Amino acid sequence: MRKLFLATLLVVFFGSAIAQNIELTPIFGYTIAGKVDNYGRYLDVKDDALYGGLLSVQIDELSYFELSYERNDTKGSTRLKEIDLAVEHYQAGALKEFSQGMVVPFAKITLGTSRYVQKSGGDERVWYFSTGIGAGAKVFLSERVGIRLFTNLMMPLEFDGAGFWCGIGGGCSGGISFNVPVMHWDMGAGLIIRLEN
């Protein structure tokens, strides 16, 4: 999955020659996490600091394509023990700005994958398809430097089942169901470095 993420990053970066602006943003913040308590499983993910980075490529006046990586090294409690845990989110999505100027509010939606890695007492690694929604504001101190304030809700999705059926009257339908085993509410800030084309 890391290779796919890096390949996408390179395609976006080299294809950005036609883009209006590129923003590189290292981020730091805090994650408030939940717990998994279903299907006989229990894991309480502790709140902790997060870090990562964003690559935002402008595609029109107020819209950006964005790649993001977030990680927090935390602890998780099972019913029997406490473990060291790393949580990573690899996401790609769209960011929409609502104005131009020194203060720029925005909203975003992303899709990608989340990985949970047990770092002590075992070597279990679990990947989930995930999605995220977020909002915040960019505060520009100059043409090329700014501060990004953000909040995101990251939702790993666990596949429950799928179905397809047809009725006697000729109509057909189908569906896929997911559940969200644990949610992560991220808050933080980053330093925007804008590369203008």
Q: What is the DSSP string of 168-185?
A: TTS-EEEEEEEE-S--EE
Which residues touch 72 (CB under 8 Å, ≥6 apart)?
31, 48, 49, 50, 51, 86, 87
Distances in whole angstroms, Cα of residue 169 to Cα of each of 27, 165, 166, 172, 182: 55, 12, 8, 9, 41
Instruction: Report how many domains make up the chain.
Output: 1
Q: Give the structural domain span for 53.
A: 2-196
Check residue 162 and give its pLDDT. Answer: 67
Check residue 82 and give its pLDDT. Answer: 85
CA pair distance 109, 134, nearest whole angstrom: 6
pLDDT tens, residue order, the chain (197 aa): 555 555 555 555 555 445 589 999 999 999 998 777 666 667 788 889 999 999 999 999 899 999 999 999 988 887 778 888 899 999 999 999 999 999 999 999 999 999 988 887 777 788 889 999 999 999 999 999 999 999 999 998 876 666 676 777 677 777 666 666 778 999 999 999 999 76
Check residue 141 and give its pLDDT. Answer: 94
Check residue 35 and give its pLDDT. Answer: 76
Tracing tokens 């999705």 back to the chain, one arrives at 157
Q: Are 22 and 9 in contact (CB under 8 A)?
A: no
CA pair distance 136, 152, nearest whole angstrom: 9
pTM over 0.85: no
* CATH at residue 121: 2.40.160.20
CA pair distance 197, 180, nearest whole angstrom: 40
Cβ count within 10 A of residue 140 = 17
Check residue 92 and give its pLDDT. Answer: 97
CA pair distance 180, 177, nearest whole angstrom: 10
Check residue 77 and give its pLDDT. Answer: 81
Check residue 154 and give its pLDDT. Answer: 92
